[in-house]
A and B are shown apart, each in its own frame.
Chain A
Amino acid sequence: MNPLIFTTILMTVLLGTMIVMMSSHWLMIWIGFEMNLLAIIPILMKKYNPRTMEASTKYFLTQATASMLLMMAIIINLMHSGQWTIMKVFNPTASIIMTSALAMKLGLTPFHFWVPEVTQGISLTSGLILLTWQKLAPMSILYQISPSINLNILLTMAVLSILVGGWGGLNQTQLRKIMAYSSIAHMGWMTAVLAYNPTLTMLNMLIYIMMTLTMFMLFIHSSSTTTLSLSHTWNKTPLTTTLILITLLSMGGLPPLSGFMPKWMIIQELTKNSSIILPTLMAIMALLNLYFYMRLTYSTSLTMFPSTNNMKMKWQFETKRITLLPPLIVMSSLLLPLTPMLSILD
Protein backbone atom coordinates (compact mmCIF):
# COMPACT_ATOMS: atom_id res chain seq x y z
CA MET A 1 0.00 0.00 0.00
CA ASN A 2 1.19 3.48 -0.77
CA PRO A 3 2.92 4.65 2.46
CA LEU A 4 1.22 8.04 2.47
CA ILE A 5 -2.25 6.55 2.18
CA PHE A 6 -1.41 3.88 4.73
CA THR A 7 -0.30 6.55 7.19
CA THR A 8 -3.47 8.57 6.59
CA ILE A 9 -5.69 5.56 7.12
CA LEU A 10 -3.81 4.48 10.26
CA MET A 11 -4.07 8.01 11.66
CA THR A 12 -7.80 7.93 10.97
CA VAL A 13 -8.13 4.74 13.02
CA LEU A 14 -6.39 6.55 15.88
CA LEU A 15 -8.51 9.64 15.33
CA GLY A 16 -11.72 7.62 15.42
CA THR A 17 -10.88 6.09 18.78
CA MET A 18 -9.76 9.46 20.14
CA ILE A 19 -13.05 11.03 19.08
CA VAL A 20 -14.96 8.26 20.84
CA MET A 21 -12.95 8.68 24.03
CA MET A 22 -13.08 12.46 24.26
CA SER A 23 -16.57 13.36 23.03
CA SER A 24 -19.44 14.38 25.25
CA HIS A 25 -22.15 14.20 22.58
CA TRP A 26 -23.57 10.79 21.74
CA LEU A 27 -23.66 11.56 18.02
CA MET A 28 -19.95 12.33 17.93
CA ILE A 29 -19.26 9.03 19.65
CA TRP A 30 -21.21 7.21 16.97
CA ILE A 31 -19.31 9.15 14.30
CA GLY A 32 -16.04 8.14 15.98
CA PHE A 33 -17.00 4.45 15.93
CA GLU A 34 -17.94 4.63 12.26
CA MET A 35 -14.73 6.43 11.33
CA ASN A 36 -12.74 3.79 13.21
CA LEU A 37 -14.56 0.97 11.41
CA LEU A 38 -14.24 2.54 7.99
CA ALA A 39 -10.53 3.15 8.30
CA ILE A 40 -9.57 -0.22 9.73
CA ILE A 41 -11.04 -2.19 6.82
CA PRO A 42 -8.10 -1.62 4.41
CA ILE A 43 -5.66 -2.31 7.25
CA LEU A 44 -7.31 -5.70 7.75
CA MET A 45 -7.13 -6.29 4.00
CA LYS A 46 -3.46 -5.50 3.56
CA LYS A 47 -2.85 -8.71 1.64
CA TYR A 48 -5.31 -9.30 -1.18
CA ASN A 49 -6.42 -12.88 -0.84
CA PRO A 50 -10.00 -14.13 -0.35
CA ARG A 51 -9.22 -15.03 3.28
CA THR A 52 -8.54 -11.45 4.36
CA MET A 53 -11.46 -10.13 2.32
CA GLU A 54 -13.79 -12.57 4.02
CA ALA A 55 -12.42 -11.63 7.45
CA SER A 56 -12.80 -7.91 6.72
CA THR A 57 -16.35 -8.41 5.50
CA LYS A 58 -17.29 -10.34 8.64
CA TYR A 59 -15.73 -7.66 10.82
CA PHE A 60 -17.52 -4.89 8.93
CA LEU A 61 -20.92 -6.58 9.14
CA THR A 62 -20.78 -7.28 12.87
CA GLN A 63 -19.40 -3.87 13.79
CA ALA A 64 -21.90 -2.04 11.55
CA THR A 65 -24.76 -3.95 13.19
CA ALA A 66 -23.38 -2.99 16.58
CA SER A 67 -23.19 0.67 15.50
CA MET A 68 -26.81 0.57 14.38
CA LEU A 69 -27.88 -0.86 17.72
CA LEU A 70 -25.84 1.84 19.44
CA MET A 71 -27.60 4.53 17.41
CA MET A 72 -30.99 3.09 18.33
CA ALA A 73 -30.07 3.09 22.02
CA ILE A 74 -28.87 6.70 21.68
CA ILE A 75 -32.18 7.77 20.14
CA ILE A 76 -34.27 5.96 22.75
CA ASN A 77 -32.15 7.65 25.41
CA LEU A 78 -32.80 10.98 23.70
CA MET A 79 -36.53 10.38 23.67
CA HIS A 80 -36.61 9.62 27.37
CA SER A 81 -34.13 12.16 28.69
CA GLY A 82 -34.17 14.91 26.10
CA GLN A 83 -30.43 15.44 26.03
CA TRP A 84 -27.41 14.20 24.16
CA THR A 85 -24.74 14.35 26.85
CA ILE A 86 -22.89 11.23 27.81
CA MET A 87 -23.70 10.15 31.27
CA LYS A 88 -25.63 7.23 32.54
CA VAL A 89 -28.36 5.97 30.23
CA PHE A 90 -31.79 6.93 31.45
CA ASN A 91 -33.99 4.15 30.16
CA PRO A 92 -33.57 0.42 30.92
CA THR A 93 -34.39 -0.59 27.33
CA ALA A 94 -31.81 1.79 25.95
CA SER A 95 -29.29 0.55 28.51
CA ILE A 96 -29.76 -3.08 27.51
CA ILE A 97 -29.54 -2.27 23.79
CA MET A 98 -26.41 -0.20 24.33
CA THR A 99 -24.77 -2.91 26.43
CA SER A 100 -25.49 -5.48 23.70
CA ALA A 101 -24.11 -3.15 21.03
CA LEU A 102 -20.87 -2.56 22.94
CA ALA A 103 -20.61 -6.29 23.70
CA MET A 104 -20.82 -6.99 19.98
CA LYS A 105 -18.02 -4.50 19.40
CA LEU A 106 -15.83 -6.06 22.08
CA GLY A 107 -16.48 -9.68 21.24
CA LEU A 108 -18.23 -10.78 24.42
CA THR A 109 -20.32 -13.93 24.46
CA PRO A 110 -22.90 -14.41 22.93
CA PHE A 111 -21.49 -12.12 20.24
CA HIS A 112 -18.02 -13.64 20.22
CA PHE A 113 -18.24 -15.73 17.05
CA TRP A 114 -16.55 -13.19 14.82
CA VAL A 115 -13.36 -12.85 16.90
CA PRO A 116 -11.54 -16.12 16.07
CA GLU A 117 -12.59 -16.10 12.43
CA VAL A 118 -11.58 -12.51 11.78
CA THR A 119 -8.32 -12.77 13.74
CA GLN A 120 -7.35 -15.92 11.86
CA GLY A 121 -8.00 -14.45 8.44
CA ILE A 122 -5.74 -11.41 8.75
CA SER A 123 -2.01 -10.89 9.12
CA LEU A 124 -0.31 -10.85 12.52
CA THR A 125 0.18 -7.07 12.61
CA SER A 126 -3.44 -6.40 11.69
CA GLY A 127 -4.52 -8.91 14.30
CA LEU A 128 -2.44 -7.00 16.82
CA ILE A 129 -4.26 -3.75 16.06
CA LEU A 130 -7.60 -5.54 16.06
CA LEU A 131 -7.21 -7.17 19.45
CA THR A 132 -5.63 -4.26 21.31
CA TRP A 133 -6.48 -0.84 19.90
CA GLN A 134 -10.03 -1.68 18.83
CA LYS A 135 -10.97 -2.66 22.37
CA LEU A 136 -10.21 0.78 23.77
CA ALA A 137 -13.15 2.68 22.31
CA PRO A 138 -16.05 0.38 23.36
CA MET A 139 -14.52 -0.13 26.79
CA SER A 140 -14.32 3.62 27.36
CA ILE A 141 -18.03 3.94 26.59
CA LEU A 142 -18.86 1.02 28.89
CA TYR A 143 -16.83 2.78 31.59
CA GLN A 144 -18.85 5.95 31.13
CA ILE A 145 -22.27 4.29 31.21
CA SER A 146 -21.34 1.79 33.93
CA PRO A 147 -23.71 3.15 36.63
CA SER A 148 -26.74 2.28 34.52
CA ILE A 149 -25.85 -1.12 33.06
CA ASN A 150 -28.16 -3.99 33.94
CA LEU A 151 -26.05 -6.13 36.25
CA ASN A 152 -27.63 -9.45 35.35
CA ILE A 153 -26.90 -9.09 31.65
CA LEU A 154 -23.38 -7.82 32.25
CA LEU A 155 -22.37 -10.58 34.63
CA THR A 156 -23.96 -13.29 32.46
CA MET A 157 -22.02 -12.07 29.45
CA ALA A 158 -18.83 -11.84 31.48
CA VAL A 159 -19.01 -15.35 32.94
CA LEU A 160 -20.01 -16.89 29.61
CA SER A 161 -17.15 -15.05 27.90
CA ILE A 162 -14.60 -16.40 30.35
CA LEU A 163 -16.04 -19.89 29.83
CA VAL A 164 -16.10 -19.65 26.04
CA GLY A 165 -12.68 -18.03 25.92
CA GLY A 166 -11.18 -20.83 27.98
CA TRP A 167 -13.07 -23.72 26.46
CA GLY A 168 -12.87 -22.57 22.86
CA GLY A 169 -9.13 -22.09 22.94
CA LEU A 170 -8.47 -25.67 24.04
CA ASN A 171 -8.66 -27.23 20.59
CA GLN A 172 -6.60 -24.65 18.74
CA THR A 173 -3.14 -24.91 17.23
CA GLN A 174 -3.26 -21.67 15.26
CA LEU A 175 -1.71 -18.92 17.31
CA ARG A 176 -4.04 -16.17 16.11
CA LYS A 177 -7.10 -18.14 17.14
CA ILE A 178 -5.52 -18.80 20.53
CA MET A 179 -4.97 -15.07 20.98
CA ALA A 180 -8.56 -14.41 19.88
CA TYR A 181 -10.00 -16.76 22.51
CA SER A 182 -7.63 -15.28 25.07
CA SER A 183 -9.02 -11.86 24.16
CA ILE A 184 -12.60 -13.09 24.66
CA ALA A 185 -11.73 -14.41 28.11
CA HIS A 186 -9.94 -11.24 29.17
CA MET A 187 -12.85 -9.10 28.02
CA GLY A 188 -15.01 -11.27 30.24
CA TRP A 189 -12.82 -10.54 33.26
CA MET A 190 -12.92 -6.83 32.45
CA THR A 191 -16.66 -6.57 32.21
CA ALA A 192 -17.26 -8.68 35.31
CA VAL A 193 -15.88 -5.99 37.58
CA LEU A 194 -17.25 -3.05 35.57
CA ALA A 195 -20.30 -2.53 37.73
CA TYR A 196 -18.39 -2.81 40.98
CA ASN A 197 -15.19 -0.83 40.42
CA PRO A 198 -14.55 0.47 36.89
CA THR A 199 -10.98 1.45 37.75
CA LEU A 200 -10.08 -2.24 37.82
CA THR A 201 -11.56 -2.60 34.33
CA MET A 202 -9.09 0.03 33.16
CA LEU A 203 -6.24 -1.69 35.02
CA ASN A 204 -7.10 -5.01 33.42
CA MET A 205 -7.33 -3.36 30.00
CA LEU A 206 -3.89 -1.82 30.47
CA ILE A 207 -2.18 -5.03 31.57
CA TYR A 208 -4.03 -7.06 28.91
CA ILE A 209 -2.93 -4.69 26.13
CA MET A 210 0.68 -4.87 27.31
CA MET A 211 0.67 -8.66 27.41
CA THR A 212 -1.11 -9.07 24.08
CA LEU A 213 1.25 -6.60 22.43
CA THR A 214 4.19 -8.58 23.80
CA MET A 215 2.80 -11.90 22.60
CA PHE A 216 2.01 -10.65 19.12
CA MET A 217 5.40 -9.01 18.79
CA LEU A 218 7.12 -12.23 19.83
CA PHE A 219 5.09 -14.06 17.18
CA ILE A 220 5.98 -11.44 14.57
CA HIS A 221 9.63 -11.69 15.59
CA SER A 222 9.72 -15.40 14.93
CA SER A 223 7.24 -15.16 12.00
CA SER A 224 5.19 -17.98 13.41
CA THR A 225 1.46 -18.44 13.15
CA THR A 226 1.08 -22.04 14.27
CA THR A 227 2.17 -23.94 17.34
CA LEU A 228 4.48 -26.01 15.17
CA SER A 229 6.37 -23.05 13.76
CA LEU A 230 6.51 -21.46 17.20
CA SER A 231 8.17 -24.60 18.49
CA HIS A 232 11.11 -23.93 16.18
CA THR A 233 12.12 -20.69 17.86
CA TRP A 234 14.78 -22.52 19.89
CA ASN A 235 16.67 -22.76 16.65
CA LYS A 236 16.32 -19.16 15.50
CA THR A 237 16.60 -17.08 18.66
CA PRO A 238 16.84 -19.21 21.78
CA LEU A 239 16.29 -16.24 24.09
CA THR A 240 12.76 -15.68 22.84
CA THR A 241 11.72 -19.13 24.03
CA THR A 242 12.26 -18.03 27.63
CA LEU A 243 10.51 -14.77 26.96
CA ILE A 244 7.54 -16.58 25.43
CA LEU A 245 7.42 -18.79 28.51
CA ILE A 246 7.37 -15.86 30.89
CA THR A 247 4.83 -13.82 28.93
CA LEU A 248 2.45 -16.73 28.42
CA LEU A 249 2.50 -17.60 32.11
CA SER A 250 1.84 -13.94 32.83
CA MET A 251 -1.19 -14.06 30.53
CA GLY A 252 -2.38 -17.10 32.43
CA GLY A 253 -2.38 -15.07 35.61
CA LEU A 254 0.35 -16.73 37.63
CA PRO A 255 1.49 -14.93 40.78
CA PRO A 256 4.87 -13.38 40.64
CA LEU A 257 4.13 -11.97 37.16
CA SER A 258 2.09 -8.91 36.14
CA GLY A 259 -0.83 -10.87 34.80
CA PHE A 260 -1.73 -11.86 38.32
CA MET A 261 -2.40 -8.25 39.32
CA PRO A 262 -5.74 -7.67 37.56
CA LYS A 263 -7.11 -11.09 38.47
CA TRP A 264 -6.17 -10.64 42.10
CA MET A 265 -7.66 -7.16 42.29
CA ILE A 266 -10.84 -8.24 40.52
CA ILE A 267 -11.39 -11.23 42.79
CA GLN A 268 -10.74 -9.05 45.81
CA GLU A 269 -13.21 -6.42 44.65
CA LEU A 270 -15.88 -9.00 43.87
CA THR A 271 -15.54 -10.66 47.27
CA LYS A 272 -15.69 -7.27 48.97
CA ASN A 273 -19.12 -6.92 47.34
CA SER A 274 -20.25 -10.21 48.87
CA SER A 275 -20.32 -12.32 45.76
CA ILE A 276 -18.32 -15.48 46.43
CA ILE A 277 -19.57 -17.99 43.89
CA LEU A 278 -18.93 -15.70 40.93
CA PRO A 279 -15.20 -15.08 41.46
CA THR A 280 -14.70 -18.75 42.36
CA LEU A 281 -16.25 -19.75 39.04
CA MET A 282 -14.21 -17.15 37.19
CA ALA A 283 -10.96 -18.29 38.78
CA ILE A 284 -11.71 -21.93 37.99
CA MET A 285 -12.51 -21.12 34.38
CA ALA A 286 -9.30 -19.13 34.05
CA LEU A 287 -7.55 -22.45 34.55
CA LEU A 288 -8.74 -23.50 31.09
CA ASN A 289 -6.91 -20.49 29.69
CA LEU A 290 -3.82 -21.40 31.66
CA TYR A 291 -3.93 -24.92 30.24
CA PHE A 292 -3.56 -23.92 26.64
CA TYR A 293 -0.95 -21.28 27.44
CA MET A 294 1.04 -23.95 29.21
CA ARG A 295 0.64 -26.27 26.27
CA LEU A 296 2.23 -23.57 24.10
CA THR A 297 5.10 -23.11 26.55
CA TYR A 298 5.60 -26.87 26.72
CA SER A 299 6.02 -27.20 22.98
CA THR A 300 8.04 -24.01 22.63
CA SER A 301 10.44 -23.66 25.51
CA LEU A 302 10.26 -26.72 27.70
CA THR A 303 10.75 -29.46 25.12
CA MET A 304 12.22 -29.83 21.68
CA PHE A 305 9.06 -30.49 19.74
CA PRO A 306 9.34 -33.40 17.30
CA SER A 307 10.03 -32.20 13.76
CA THR A 308 11.89 -33.34 10.68
CA ASN A 309 15.64 -32.91 10.69
CA ASN A 310 15.79 -30.16 8.13
CA MET A 311 13.56 -27.99 10.29
CA LYS A 312 16.20 -28.11 12.98
CA MET A 313 18.57 -26.03 10.90
CA LYS A 314 16.53 -22.95 10.08
CA TRP A 315 17.97 -19.98 8.29
CA GLN A 316 16.59 -16.47 8.02
CA PHE A 317 17.99 -13.34 6.43
CA GLU A 318 18.22 -10.96 9.33
CA THR A 319 16.59 -10.71 12.70
CA LYS A 320 13.61 -8.41 12.72
CA ARG A 321 14.23 -5.50 14.96
CA ILE A 322 11.19 -4.70 17.08
CA THR A 323 12.17 -1.72 19.16
CA LEU A 324 9.37 -1.82 21.67
CA LEU A 325 9.73 -5.48 22.52
CA PRO A 326 12.17 -5.46 25.46
CA PRO A 327 10.36 -2.80 27.52
CA LEU A 328 7.06 -4.55 26.84
CA ILE A 329 8.43 -7.87 27.99
CA VAL A 330 9.72 -6.32 31.17
CA MET A 331 6.41 -4.56 31.79
CA SER A 332 4.30 -7.61 31.13
CA SER A 333 6.19 -9.73 33.64
CA LEU A 334 7.56 -7.58 36.39
CA LEU A 335 4.86 -5.09 37.24
CA LEU A 336 3.34 -6.91 40.19
CA PRO A 337 5.18 -4.99 42.95
CA LEU A 338 3.74 -1.77 41.52
CA THR A 339 0.19 -2.78 42.42
CA PRO A 340 -0.39 0.13 44.85
CA MET A 341 0.16 2.46 41.91
CA LEU A 342 -3.20 1.53 40.45
CA SER A 343 -4.69 4.41 42.37
CA ILE A 344 -3.41 6.68 39.60
CA LEU A 345 -6.04 5.20 37.31
CA ASP A 346 -8.90 6.81 39.23
Chain B
Amino acid sequence: MMTYIVFILSVIFVVSFVGFSSKPSPIYGGLVLIVSGGVGCGIIVNFGGSFLGLMVFLIYLGGMLVVFGYTTAMATEQYPEVWVSNTTVMGVFLLGLLMEVMLVLYVLKSEEVGVVFKFSGVGDWAIYDTGDSGVFSEEIMGVAALYSYGAWVVIVTGWSLLVGVLVILEVTRGD
Protein backbone atom coordinates (compact mmCIF):
# COMPACT_ATOMS: atom_id res chain seq x y z
CA MET B 1 0.00 0.00 0.00
CA MET B 2 2.80 2.39 0.73
CA THR B 3 3.86 2.40 -2.91
CA TYR B 4 0.41 3.62 -3.88
CA ILE B 5 0.00 6.06 -1.01
CA VAL B 6 0.11 9.13 -3.26
CA PHE B 7 -2.64 7.69 -5.45
CA ILE B 8 -4.84 6.92 -2.45
CA LEU B 9 -4.29 10.37 -0.97
CA SER B 10 -5.10 11.99 -4.32
CA VAL B 11 -8.37 10.08 -4.52
CA ILE B 12 -9.32 11.18 -1.02
CA PHE B 13 -8.34 14.75 -2.04
CA VAL B 14 -10.70 14.73 -5.02
CA VAL B 15 -13.51 13.11 -3.03
CA SER B 16 -13.36 15.80 -0.34
CA PHE B 17 -13.34 18.49 -3.06
CA VAL B 18 -16.52 16.90 -4.43
CA GLY B 19 -17.81 16.97 -0.87
CA PHE B 20 -17.62 20.70 -0.46
CA SER B 21 -18.39 21.72 -4.02
CA SER B 22 -21.76 20.00 -3.78
CA LYS B 23 -22.49 22.91 -1.46
CA PRO B 24 -23.61 21.76 1.96
CA SER B 25 -23.62 24.36 4.71
CA PRO B 26 -20.22 26.08 5.18
CA ILE B 27 -19.61 24.26 8.45
CA TYR B 28 -19.58 20.90 6.67
CA GLY B 29 -17.65 22.46 3.82
CA GLY B 30 -15.01 23.49 6.34
CA LEU B 31 -14.98 19.95 7.70
CA VAL B 32 -14.06 18.41 4.36
CA LEU B 33 -11.64 21.28 3.73
CA ILE B 34 -9.77 20.15 6.84
CA VAL B 35 -9.65 16.61 5.45
CA SER B 36 -8.51 17.79 2.02
CA GLY B 37 -5.89 20.10 3.56
CA GLY B 38 -4.50 17.29 5.65
CA VAL B 39 -4.45 14.91 2.72
CA GLY B 40 -2.81 17.52 0.48
CA CYS B 41 -0.17 17.99 3.13
CA GLY B 42 0.36 14.23 3.06
CA ILE B 43 0.89 14.30 -0.70
CA ILE B 44 3.49 17.06 -0.40
CA VAL B 45 5.29 15.21 2.42
CA ASN B 46 5.42 12.06 0.33
CA PHE B 47 7.28 13.94 -2.40
CA GLY B 48 9.97 14.88 0.11
CA GLY B 49 8.71 18.31 1.05
CA SER B 50 8.34 17.90 4.78
CA PHE B 51 8.78 21.61 5.52
CA LEU B 52 6.12 22.76 3.08
CA GLY B 53 3.69 20.07 4.19
CA LEU B 54 3.95 21.08 7.81
CA MET B 55 3.64 24.71 6.70
CA VAL B 56 0.30 23.84 5.08
CA PHE B 57 -0.89 22.22 8.30
CA LEU B 58 0.23 25.08 10.46
CA ILE B 59 -0.79 28.11 8.44
CA TYR B 60 -3.64 26.86 6.28
CA LEU B 61 -5.38 24.47 8.66
CA GLY B 62 -4.25 25.91 11.94
CA GLY B 63 -4.62 29.55 11.00
CA MET B 64 -6.97 30.28 8.14
CA LEU B 65 -9.35 27.38 8.58
CA VAL B 66 -9.70 27.99 12.31
CA VAL B 67 -10.65 31.61 11.65
CA PHE B 68 -13.03 30.47 8.91
CA GLY B 69 -14.59 27.93 11.26
CA TYR B 70 -15.16 30.49 13.98
CA THR B 71 -16.71 33.07 11.66
CA THR B 72 -18.95 30.44 10.07
CA ALA B 73 -20.00 29.27 13.52
CA MET B 74 -21.03 32.83 14.32
CA ALA B 75 -23.02 33.18 11.09
CA THR B 76 -24.61 29.74 10.97
CA GLU B 77 -28.30 29.07 10.42
CA GLN B 78 -30.65 27.00 12.50
CA TYR B 79 -30.83 23.93 10.25
CA PRO B 80 -27.61 23.70 8.28
CA GLU B 81 -27.60 21.61 5.10
CA VAL B 82 -25.89 18.25 5.23
CA TRP B 83 -25.11 16.14 2.20
CA VAL B 84 -28.21 13.97 2.69
CA SER B 85 -30.68 16.64 3.70
CA ASN B 86 -31.31 18.13 0.28
CA THR B 87 -31.93 16.06 -2.85
CA THR B 88 -29.88 18.40 -5.01
CA VAL B 89 -26.85 18.35 -2.76
CA MET B 90 -26.99 14.59 -2.41
CA GLY B 91 -27.43 14.19 -6.15
CA VAL B 92 -24.39 16.32 -6.98
CA PHE B 93 -22.31 14.58 -4.33
CA LEU B 94 -23.22 11.13 -5.62
CA LEU B 95 -22.59 12.20 -9.20
CA GLY B 96 -19.13 13.48 -8.31
CA LEU B 97 -18.39 10.29 -6.38
CA LEU B 98 -19.56 8.18 -9.29
CA MET B 99 -17.31 10.01 -11.74
CA GLU B 100 -14.35 9.68 -9.39
CA VAL B 101 -14.98 5.94 -8.94
CA MET B 102 -15.17 5.45 -12.70
CA LEU B 103 -11.93 7.39 -13.19
CA VAL B 104 -10.17 5.35 -10.51
CA LEU B 105 -11.29 2.08 -12.04
CA TYR B 106 -10.14 3.29 -15.46
CA VAL B 107 -6.73 4.16 -14.07
CA LEU B 108 -6.43 0.87 -12.16
CA LYS B 109 -7.48 -1.37 -14.99
CA SER B 110 -5.82 -0.01 -18.08
CA GLU B 111 -2.17 0.14 -18.94
CA GLU B 112 -2.10 3.65 -20.27
CA VAL B 113 -4.44 6.52 -19.47
CA GLY B 114 -4.58 9.46 -21.76
CA VAL B 115 -7.14 12.01 -20.56
CA VAL B 116 -5.34 15.30 -21.16
CA PHE B 117 -1.84 14.01 -20.67
CA LYS B 118 -0.69 10.44 -20.70
CA PHE B 119 0.37 8.52 -17.67
CA SER B 120 0.81 4.78 -17.56
CA GLY B 121 -1.67 3.33 -15.10
CA VAL B 122 -1.00 3.60 -11.40
CA GLY B 123 2.71 3.16 -11.88
CA ASP B 124 3.31 6.84 -12.53
CA TRP B 125 1.85 7.76 -9.17
CA ALA B 126 4.22 5.62 -7.14
CA ILE B 127 7.34 7.34 -5.95
CA TYR B 128 10.50 5.36 -6.36
CA ASP B 129 12.91 8.11 -5.62
CA THR B 130 12.48 11.68 -4.63
CA GLY B 131 14.42 12.84 -7.65
CA ASP B 132 16.80 15.10 -5.82
CA SER B 133 20.51 15.11 -6.13
CA GLY B 134 20.99 13.45 -2.76
CA VAL B 135 23.22 16.21 -1.48
CA PHE B 136 20.51 18.69 -0.48
CA SER B 137 16.75 18.54 -0.32
CA GLU B 138 14.97 20.13 -3.27
CA GLU B 139 12.19 21.80 -1.43
CA ILE B 140 14.32 23.59 1.10
CA MET B 141 16.41 24.94 -1.78
CA GLY B 142 13.15 26.11 -3.34
CA VAL B 143 12.21 28.02 -0.20
CA ALA B 144 15.70 29.51 -0.09
CA ALA B 145 15.46 30.52 -3.73
CA LEU B 146 12.14 32.25 -3.03
CA TYR B 147 13.81 34.56 -0.56
CA SER B 148 16.91 35.22 -2.66
CA TYR B 149 16.25 35.18 -6.41
CA GLY B 150 12.52 35.43 -5.97
CA ALA B 151 12.48 38.63 -3.96
CA TRP B 152 10.12 40.22 -6.50
CA VAL B 153 7.59 37.42 -5.91
CA VAL B 154 7.79 38.00 -2.16
CA ILE B 155 7.20 41.73 -2.66
CA VAL B 156 4.25 41.13 -4.98
CA THR B 157 2.60 38.55 -2.75
CA GLY B 158 3.17 40.68 0.35
CA TRP B 159 1.60 43.67 -1.38
CA SER B 160 -1.33 41.52 -2.53
CA LEU B 161 -1.97 40.39 1.03
CA LEU B 162 -1.90 43.97 2.30
CA VAL B 163 -4.25 45.14 -0.43
CA GLY B 164 -6.43 42.10 0.25
CA VAL B 165 -6.93 43.26 3.81
CA LEU B 166 -7.70 46.81 2.65
CA VAL B 167 -10.17 45.54 0.02
CA ILE B 168 -11.98 43.33 2.54
CA LEU B 169 -12.27 46.20 4.98
CA GLU B 170 -13.63 48.47 2.25
CA VAL B 171 -16.13 45.93 0.97
CA THR B 172 -17.54 45.01 4.38
CA ARG B 173 -17.54 48.54 5.71
CA GLY B 174 -20.77 49.60 4.06
CA ASP B 175 -21.73 53.22 4.25
Contact B160 A9 (CB under 8 A): no
Query: In the docked arrangement, what's the CA distance between A31 and B161, Å?
Result: 12
What A residues does B164 contact at CB under 8 A?
A: 38
Contact B167 A9 (CB under 8 A): yes
Q: Write out, one digit per residue, whether chain A residues 1-28 have a CB within 8 A of any chain B CB (1) or not (0).
A: 1000100110010010001000000001
Q: Write out, one digit per residue, whether chain A residues 162-190 have a CB within 8 A of any chain B CB (1) or not (0).
A: 00000000000000000000000000000
Query: In the docked arrangement, what's the CA distance between A65 and B171, Å?
Result: 21
Tell yes or no: B175 within 8 A of A by CB.
yes
Q: For the complex formed, measure the closest distance between the CB of B44 and the CB atoms of chain A, giving whole angstroms.
A: 16
- Choose, from B58-66, B84-92, B151-159, the stretch at the interface: B151-159
Please name the residue on chain B nearest to A12 by beta carbon.
Answer: B163
What B residues does A76 contact at CB under 8 A?
A: 116-117
Residue with the highest number of chain B CB atoms closer than 10 Å, among A1, A28, A38: A38
The A24-49 residues at the B interface (CB cut-off 8 A) are 28, 31, 34-35, 38-39, 41-42, 45, 48
Contact B159 A12 (CB under 8 A): yes
Q: For the complex formed, measure the closest distance between the CB of A80 and the CB atoms of chain B, giving whole angstroms.
A: 7
Contact A5 B170 (CB under 8 A): yes
What A residues does B170 contact at CB under 8 A?
A: 1, 5, 9, 42, 45
Please name the residue on chain A nearest to B157 by beta carbon.
Answer: A31
The B126-175 residues at the A interface (CB cut-off 8 A) are 152-153, 156-157, 159-160, 163-164, 166-167, 169-171, 174-175
Contact B153 A28 (CB under 8 A): yes
What A residues does B160 contact at CB under 8 A?
A: 31, 34-35, 38
Contact B171 A41 (CB under 8 A): yes
Tell yes or no: A284 within 8 A of B by CB.
no
Tell yes or no: A79 within 8 A of B by CB.
yes
Q: For the complex formed, measure the closest distance between the CB of B119 and the CB atoms of chain A, giving whole angstroms.
A: 10
What A residues does B116 contact at CB under 8 A?
A: 76, 93
Contact B156 A48 (CB under 8 A): no
Please name the residue on chain B nearest to A93 by beta carbon.
Answer: B116
Contact B171 A45 (CB under 8 A): yes
Contact size class for B?
Answer: 10 to 19
What B residues does A38 contact at CB under 8 A?
A: 160, 163-164, 167
Q: For the complex formed, measure the closest distance between the CB of B142 and the CB atoms of chain A, giving whole angstroms.
A: 13
Query: In the docked arrangement, what's the CA distance between A39 and B166, Å?
Result: 9
What A residues does B166 contact at CB under 8 A?
A: 5, 8-9
Query: In the docked arrangement, what's the CA distance between A234 and B160, Å?
Result: 46
Contact B167 A80 (CB under 8 A): no
Please name the residue on chain A nearest to B152 by beta carbon.
Answer: A28
Q: Pick the contact of B117 from A8, A31, A45, A79 — CB < 8 Å? A: A79
Query: In the docked arrangement, what's the CA distance between A8 and B170, Å?
Result: 12
Please name the residue on chain A nearest to B119 by beta carbon.
Answer: A79
The B105-130 residues at the A interface (CB cut-off 8 A) are 116-117
Q: For the complex formed, measure the closest distance between the CB of B169 and the CB atoms of chain A, giving whole angstroms.
A: 8
What A residues does B174 contact at CB under 8 A?
A: 48
The A88-112 residues at the B interface (CB cut-off 8 A) are 93
What B residues does A93 contact at CB under 8 A?
A: 116
What B residues does A31 contact at CB under 8 A?
A: 153, 156-157, 160
Query: In the docked arrangement, what's the CA distance between A9 and B156, Å?
Result: 14
Please name the residue on chain B nearest to A2 by beta carbon.
Answer: B170
What A residues does B152 contact at CB under 8 A?
A: 28
What B residues does A41 contact at CB under 8 A?
A: 167, 171
What A residues does B169 contact at CB under 8 A?
A: 5
Please name the residue on chain B nearest to A31 by beta carbon.
Answer: B156
CB-CB under 8 A for A39 and B157, given A1-B170, A48-B174, A93-B116? no
What A residues does B163 contact at CB under 8 A?
A: 8-9, 12, 35, 38-39
Contact A39 B167 (CB under 8 A): yes
Query: In the docked arrangement, what's the CA distance between A42 and B173, Å?
Result: 10
Contact A28 B117 (CB under 8 A): no
Q: Pick the contact of B167 from A15, A19, A42, A48 — CB < 8 Å? A: A42
Query: In the docked arrangement, what's the CA distance between A9 and B117, Å?
Result: 40
Query: In the docked arrangement, what's the CA distance between A41 and B167, Å?
Result: 8
Query: In the docked arrangement, what's the CA distance between A21 and B175, Å?
Result: 35
Residues of A within 8 A of B (CB): 1, 5, 8-9, 12, 15, 19, 28, 31, 34-35, 38-39, 41-42, 45, 48, 76, 79-80, 93
Nearest 6 CB-CB pairings of A with B: A42-B170, A12-B163, A35-B160, A79-B117, A48-B175, A42-B167
- 26 pairs from A and B in contact (CB 8 Å cutoff): A1-B170, A5-B166, A8-B163, A8-B166, A9-B163, A9-B166, A9-B167, A15-B159, A19-B156, A28-B152, A28-B156, A31-B157, A31-B160, A35-B160, A35-B163, A38-B164, A39-B167, A41-B171, A42-B167, A42-B171, A45-B170, A45-B171, A76-B116, A76-B117, A79-B117, A93-B116
Extra contacts besides A8-B163, A76-B116 (5): CB < 8 Å: A28-B153, A31-B160, A35-B159, A45-B171, A76-B117
